[in-house]
Amino acid sequence: MVDRDHISLILQECHDYPYMGHMSEDRTKERVASTAWWPKWEKELGEYINTCERCQKENRKHGKKYGLLQHIEEPKHPWETINMDWVAGLVQGGKENYNACLIIVD
């Protein structure tokens, strides 16, 4: 069983270091399982990977696919028609830890 003080080091070695290449959760599980054991290690590993900043940026989920784009009539006056959409699932930032952005196009 692994000492609690060494868990973060093991997770880093098995997932973060350049020679490991930020592997998927399944591949990292195989690596950890062959290296060490501690209670609830799989849960901790999942949380570790889900909060890995590099993985969040590079493996962004793109959400549901919706129907085809529709033609939008060109408005005759400013702010006559606006289009809005959310960009969500961003890495949290700012003092309020925002993780989404509302895009408005006139």
pLDDT at position 60 is 63
- By DSSP bridging, strand 83-93 and strand 98-105 are antiparallel
The DSSP element (H or E) to which 89 belongs, if any, is strand 83-93
Q: Residues with Cβ < 8 Å from 103, sequence gap 6 or more?
A: 84, 85, 86, 87
Question: What are the pLDDT digits (tens) for 44-102?
Answer: 999 998 888 888 777 766 555 566 777 777 888 888 888 889 998 889 888 889 999 99
Packing angle between helix 41-50 and helix 25-33, nearest 10 degrees?
Answer: 140
Section 15-25 average pLDDT = 79
Q: Residues with Cβ < 8 Å from 89, sequence gap 6 or more?
A: 60, 61, 63, 99, 100
pLDDT at position 48 is 92
The DSSP element (H or E) to which 34 belongs, if any, is none
Domain parsing of the chain, residue ranges: 4-58
